[in-house]
Amino acid sequence: MHYREVETRREFVARMETGADWREEIETLAEAAEIDAGFFYALGAVQDAEVLFYDQREKEYESVSFEEPLEVAACMGNVSWLNAERFAHTHAVLSRPSGQAIAGHLDSGTVFAGECYMREFEGELVREFDETTGLDLWL
Amino acid sequence: MHYREVETRREFVARMETGADWREEIETLAEAAEIDAGFFYALGAVQDAEVLFYDQREKEYESVSFEEPLEVAACMGNVSWLNAERFAHTHAVLSRPSGQAIAGHLDSGTVFAGECYMREFEGELVREFDETTGLDLWL
Amino acid sequence: MHYREVETRREFVARMETGADWREEIETLAEAAEIDAGFFYALGAVQDAEVLFYDQREKEYESVSFEEPLEVAACMGNVSWLNAERFAHTHAVLSRPSGQAIAGHLDSGTVFAGECYMREFEGELVREFDETTGLDLWL
């Protein structure tokens, strides 16, 4: 367990734009407010979604596309620097009209409506390549 | 992306009452502590649940009822003013004994046990009708 | 609704160790930083998982094991004292490559990668046996 004490500097609530991309909206907030490190939480609905699953053996992402309206029942993630850009690492739980849940790493999704809360930590979180997992990890 | 910087005023932890309604318990906390804006997170279990799914084309909610005990694996949402009342916009991920997950907008559910954390922001969040989505949105 | 106003003392971000146990990593952080009460949020992936479902009638936990890699789409919970030990009450939503979601009380899971945010409250949360539910509850 690698850990670091952090201090919250600013907090934001946001409403995502209908028709925009879910993850890009979060990165737009991070960019606009110059957030270098933070955690966020969001809920709402999307018109479609692309969900990634990391193949732990092959060390690569597989993608599944859902071309249908879905509720965003829960979404959480964090903002850090990756390859000199602000990156929103975004996981989400989506659902269909029957209540059936779909979940994973949310790469993209067209916003129908979305409400977000983000807290910014002092300092930076920077992702670097980790050989064991093949992922870009911070700390 | 519409956003606003917020400041946390107070924070609360709460235990929900067995037999009460999940969403009403959250609104009871907001009412008792006079919270006009905030985000909350909760987990626990319910004895039944009514989950809503918003039909983005018809612009109306469809309801699915689950008359069975369910874990509340994740619940998040926010408190704002809607039609002159404090409203807890509540999304949740529920699960069955097999682990099967059900998710969506949680309208109601009979609490078996529930643990909640809420943070209150200074000022108010007020929902108003949005023509594009047919939803009541803030900001 | 039983509630208590709390004050945040410290905040932490953490990266979980590949190969360690998911819940134990959270308890290791709580132990190392001497956290007596707090809420946490996490996301990542596990190599396997044991998920519990509480049988509300029989008042006992049933266990389901998943011997497969899973994304941790959402994880939330809290730290409190239970039987003189720091306990991380941990709920999680997991997912398979198809996007299929599994959820419940996460007893254990082998970390593939994990990112956690924890906030510590002043004072203590202590769990005590509740006869109505058969669970150990705080407040």
pLDDT digit string, tens, across residues B25-66: 999 999 999 999 999 999 999 999 999 999 999 999 999 999
What is the reported pLDDT for A70? 98
pLDDT digit string, tens, across residues C121-132: 999 999 999 999
What is the C-alpha radius of gyration for chain C, rounded to an integer number of angstroms?
A: 15
| CATH classification at residue A24 | 3.30.1330.80
pLDDT category, C90, cuts 50, 70, 90?
very high
Domain that holds residue A109: 11-121
Q: Is the confidence at residue B139, as pLDDT, over 90? A: no
Contacts of B101 in chain A (CB under 8 A): 93, 101, 103
3-state secondary structure A109-136: CEEEEEEEEEEEECCCCECEEECCCCEE
Geometric angle at alpha carbon A71, from A49 and A109, rounded to 5°: 20
| Chain C contact probe: residue of A8, A41, A46, A56 with most C CBs at under 10 A | A56
Buried residues in A78-113 as b, exposed as e (16+ CB within 10 A):
bbbbbeeebbbbbbbbbbbbebbbbbbbbbbbbbbb
What mean pLDDT value characterizes chain A? 97
Q: Do C13 and A125 touch (CB under 8 A)?
A: yes
CA distance C9 to C79: 14
CA distance B115 to B129: 31
The residues in B 49-68 lying below 8 A from C, measured between CB atoms, are: none
What is the reported pLDDT for B10? 98
Going by C-beta distance under 8 Å and a sequence separation of 6 or more, which residues neighbour residue B5? A10, A11, A12, A33
Percent of chain B residues topping a pLDDT of 90: 99
The answer to the question of residue A5 being in a domain is no
Tell me what the mean pLDDT of segment B7-33 comes to: 98
CA distance C30 to C78: 10
Q: Where do we find the tokens 């509340």?
A: B72
The verdict on B4 touching A (C-beta cutoff 8 Å) is: yes
Count of all residues that appear for chain C in the document: 139
What mean pLDDT value characterizes chain C? 97
Q: Is the confidence at residue C139, as pLDDT, over 90? A: no
SS3 C67: coil
Structure token digits, residue B19: 């037999």
Q: Are C114 and C22 in contact (CB under 8 A)?
A: yes
Going by C-beta distance under 8 Å and a sequence separation of 6 or more, which residues neighbour residue C18? A132, A133, C111, C112, C113
Q: Is the confidence at residue A115, as pLDDT, over 90? A: yes
Contacts of A102 in chain C (CB under 8 A): 95, 99-101
> Could you give the dihedral angle defined by the CA atoms of residues B107, B21, C105 and B14, in that order, rounded to the nearest 10 degrees?
120
pLDDT digit string, tens, across residues C45-86: 999 999 999 999 999 999 999 999 999 999 999 999 999 999
CA distance B71 to B46: 6
Segment (H or E) for B26: helix B22-32
pLDDT category, A63, cuts 50, 70, 90?
very high
| Chain B contact probe: residue of C2, C56, C68, C129 with most B CBs at under 10 A | C56
SS3 B108: strand
The answer to the question of residue A43 being in a domain is yes
Contacts of A4 in chain C (CB under 8 A): 12-14
The answer to the question of residue A77 being in a domain is yes
What is the reported pLDDT for C124? 94
pLDDT digit string, tens, across residues C73-84: 999 999 999 999
Inter-chain CB pairs, B–C, below 8 Å: 124
Q: Are A28 and A16 in contact (CB under 8 A)?
A: no
The answer to the question of residue C70 being in a domain is yes
pLDDT digit string, tens, across residues C10-31: 999 999 999 999 999 999 999 9
pLDDT digit string, tens, across residues A2-15: 999 999 999 999 99
Q: Is the confidence at residue B109, as pLDDT, over 90? A: yes
The answer to the question of residue C102 being in a domain is yes
Structure token digits, residue C69: 């890699």
CA distance B135 to C94: 30
Q: Do C71 and A5 touch (CB under 8 A)?
A: no
What is the reported pLDDT for C131? 95
The answer to the question of residue A134 being in a domain is no
Contacts of C2 in chain B (CB under 8 A): 14-15, 17
What is the reported pLDDT for A73? 98
The residues in B 13-32 lying below 8 A from A, measured between CB atoms, are: none
Between A29, A73, A113, which is nearest B104 by CB? A73
CB atoms within 10 A of CB C68: 14
Buried residues in B35-68 as b, exposed as e (16+ CB within 10 A):
bbbbbbbbbbbbbebbbbbbebeeeeeeebebee
The answer to the question of residue A131 being in a domain is no
What's the structural domain count of chain B? 1
The answer to the question of residue B30 being in a domain is yes
Percent of chain A residues topping a pLDDT of 90: 99
Q: Do A56 and C73 touch (CB under 8 A)?
A: no
Touching A (3+ Cβ pairs <8 A), the chains are B, C
